Structure 1
C-alpha cells in the first residue's frame, strides 16, 4: 500500500487540533486555557535601619539656652536618651507617646556643654546609637530684670505704671520688648516706653480702669539684650488695680480734694512749696509710705547746716517723687495751710489729715498738682503721666512715633 503525502496535511492537522480545543462536552462553551507554574518563595522584606537626629545638631556651640533640645528617631523608636551637663547632672526630658521624639523639659544653662547619648530600635530589633555634645553660649555678663508691682504689692492704684529695671545697660531694646507681655482683664491697650538704658515702663493711654487684673511676663532668660549681656532670669507677676483714688490740688486755692471712684470723700487745706522751692506741677503717683520719716535736705544737695538746710522727722509720710515730694504731717505750718505756700516742695497737711491720707491712699494712687512750679519730669518717680500719649509711644523700641 502506498502512502500519499500532501503538502496540506499539516494545515488539516492544525484545524483538527483547533476544532478539538474549541469543542466542549455536550456542546457547551469552550473552557479557557490554563497555565500552571511552581510557586516561588516570597521576596525577603528589607527593613530600614533606625536613624537618630538631634536639634541643635551634635557639635553645635554658642547655642541659645532657651533653644529646645530635642532628639528624633526615624524608621524606629527611641529606646534610651541621656543628656548630662558638665558635672554629669541629667537634663530632665520626656518621650512623646510614640517614642519618636524626646524633648528637654527645662531650659539649658549658660556656658555649658551637654553630652547627648541616644539609642533607637528599628522594626527588626536592630539598635542604632548616637552620641556627641551641644554647647551653649557664654555671656559677657548677665542682667537681672526687676518687675514692679510684685508679689508684695498685689493691689495698686490706677496710676501705677509697670516698671522693669535692669542692673546692666540694655542696648538692644527691641529684643527686650519682643519678650515682654501684658495681659489684662478686661482688655486694656497700653505700650512700653524706655526712660533710660536700664528702665522701661508700661502704661495705658489713660489711668488703668479700676479693678483691672494685670498679668506681666518678662520672658528674658536667654535673651541677648546687646553687647554680650544676657537675661539672667524670666519673671511673671500678677496684680490687681484697686478703686480709682485721685487727689487734686490747685496752687490758687491750696485745698487738696480727694476722690474715690470720682466721688469727693475728703478735703484738706495744704501748703505747697514756697517760691524758692516750688512744688512741680503735674501728675504724681504714690510710691511708698512711712509711718515716720526723716526729712533731710542733704539728700537733694542742701547741707543740713546751710541756711535752707534741715533734718526733721515727720509723721505719715507718703512719697510722691524721687526728688523728695511727700504728702506729710506738718503741724508747724497748720496756720499757713490753705492760705500760703511755705514748704520746701512737699504738700504740708495737718497731722490728722496726713493720717487720713496715709490710711486711705496708697501705692499707685494719684495726686495731681496744678498751677504750681514747672512740670514734674517723666523720670522723677512715676512721672509717666506727664507726657502725652504720642510722646509715650515714641519711647517704644518697636513702634516709635506711632
Structure 2
C-alpha cells in the first residue's frame, strides 16, 4: 500500500509539471490571447494651442495601421503611410483656431484624439485678383495679379499654395514684385478660348512670423480671342488680328519724339483698361507752363502707366502720314471706337520703330522680360 501511494504521489508530480496525462497538463500548455498593436497620436488628446504648422503623426507599435482619419468641420484631411504602414503623417496644412479629431485603427486596437490649433497672431488673406471679373473675357497676354492684405516674408510657402489650372495647359511662373503682390505669367501667350482657374490654397500656410493664411480663394478667368495688334510707328499703320485673321487696318499717329516723354514706347504692351471719356493732362507741368495741356479724349484704351493710350482723335490729316502726338497712338474716331468696344484686358499691342523701350514694370509690360528672366522673380526658382 505504501508503494502504491508513493507511486500515485509520483504520478501526481509529473502531472503538475506537464509531463503526465490529465486535465492539469492540458491547462498548462494553453497560451494567452495576443494583445493588439499600441497606437500613439501626436498631438495628444486634449492638446490646445497647437501650432498650425505642426504635422499630425500617428504611429503603431507591434503591427501595421489599418486606417487613419483626420477631420475638421466635417472634412477629411489627406495624409500618407510609410512603407510598412506603421506611421501616418498628415499632408494638408492645419487651419488655425480649429478643432481636429484623429481616429486610428490597427488590428483590434482603436485610438482617438481631439486637439485644437492656436489662433494666429496675424491673418493672411487675398484681397484682390486681377483680371478676374465675373463674365469678363481677357486677352491671351493677360497676367494673374494677386495682392495680399499684408507683406509676406515666407514667400516660398505661400507661392507653393498658389495653383493655376487651365483647360489648355501652358507653362507659367510667378514673380514677386512687392512683398504683398505676386504675378503669374505664361511662357508663351495663353491658348485662346478657354477657362483658367486660380486657387489660393493658403489656409494654414505660414506667411511669416505669426502670420497664417485663414481663408482660401478661387477665381475663374475666361481667356477670349487671340487679339494681337502690331504697329511700326515709322509706317503709321496698326494691324489688328483676331485668331490669326486680319480684322482691322488702322491709320494712326504716334508720338512726335521731340522729347523722350513724347516718344511712344516700343515693345509688347498689354491693354489694361478702356475709358470713355478720359482727361489727359501733361505730366509734370501745371497750367501756364510751356507745353501744358489738358484735354478730354474719347474711347481710350490704356497700354502703359506712362500715359500711353490707343484713342480717338479727329486729326485724320496726320494719321498714316505724320507722328504728332504726345506719345499716345491716336486713330480715326470710328476705328478707335471699334478698338475700344472690342478690347479685352490683356490683349497684345506690339509696337516697334522707336528708340524708347517699354520698361517691364511700366503698366503690364511683363512680356518685355524673357521667361527665363521672369522666373528669377519666383521664390521657387
TM-score of the pair, normalised by structure 2: 0.73
Superposed CA offset, 1:114-152 (max 9, x none): 4879999x97xxx99977743325234534253233252
Q: How does 1:195-210 map to 2 (within 5 A)?
A: 195-210=177-192
Map of 1:164 onto structure 2: 146
Rounded Cα–Cα distance in structure 2 between residues aligned with 1:68 and 1:91: 18
- 2:312 aligned with 1:335, yes or no? no
Q: Which runs of 5+ in 1 are unaligned?
A: 1-34, 76-80, 84-89, 96-103
Rounded Cα–Cα distance in structure 2 between residues aligned with 1:196 and 1:162: 14
Map of 2:247 onto structure 1: 265
Q: Which stretch of the first structure deviates more once superposed, 141-150 or 189-198?
A: 141-150
Map of 1:326 onto structure 2: 309
Which residue of 273, 285, 294 maps to 1:311?
294
**Contact 1:182–1:215 (CA<8 Å) still a contact in 2?**
yes
Map of 1:24 onto structure 2: none
Map of 1:351 onto structure 2: 333
Cα RMSD (Å): 4.2
Cα drift, residue 326 of structure 1:
1.4
Map of 1:284 onto structure 2: 269
**Contact 2:93–2:205 (CA<8 Å) still a contact in 1?**
no
Q: Which stretch of the first structure deviates more once superposed, 194-203 or 259-268?
A: 194-203
Going from structure 1 to structure 2, the CA distance change for 1:273 and 1:239 (only over 3 Å counts) comes to same
**Contact 2:43–2:50 (CA<8 Å) still a contact in 1?**
no
Which residue of 369, 374, 384 maps to 2:366?
384
Map of 2:8 onto structure 1: none
Going from structure 1 to structure 2, the CA distance change for 1:351 and 1:116 (only over 3 Å counts) comes to same
Map of 2:6 onto structure 1: none
Greater gyration radius: 1
Going from structure 1 to structure 2, the CA distance change for 1:130 and 1:188 (only over 3 Å counts) comes to closer
Map of 1:30 onto structure 2: none
Cα drift, residue 324 of structure 1:
2.5
Cα drift, residue 68 of structure 1:
7.8
Map of 1:63 onto structure 2: 51
Rounded Cα–Cα distance in structure 1 between residues aligned with 2:377 and 2:102: 48
Cα drift, residue 384 of structure 1:
0.8
Rounded Cα–Cα distance in structure 1 between residues aligned with 2:30 and 2:136: 73
Cα drift, residue 282 of structure 1:
1.0
**Contact 1:154–1:238 (CA<8 Å) still a contact in 2?**
no
Which residue of 175, 189, 208 maps to 1:193?
175
Going from structure 1 to structure 2, the CA distance change for 1:373 and 1:341 (only over 3 Å counts) comes to same
Rounded Cα–Cα distance in structure 1 between residues aligned with 2:326 and 2:149: 32
**Contact 2:52–2:95 (CA<8 Å) still a contact in 1?**
no
Displaced runs of 4 or more, over 6 A: 49-52, 67-75, 115-120, 127-132
Going from structure 1 to structure 2, the CA distance change for 1:138 and 1:303 (only over 3 Å counts) comes to same
Cα drift, residue 284 of structure 1:
0.9
Superposed CA offset, 1:145-189 (max 9, x none): 532332525532111122222232223322222222223333322
Rounded Cα–Cα distance in structure 2 between residues aligned with 1:140 and 1:321: 35
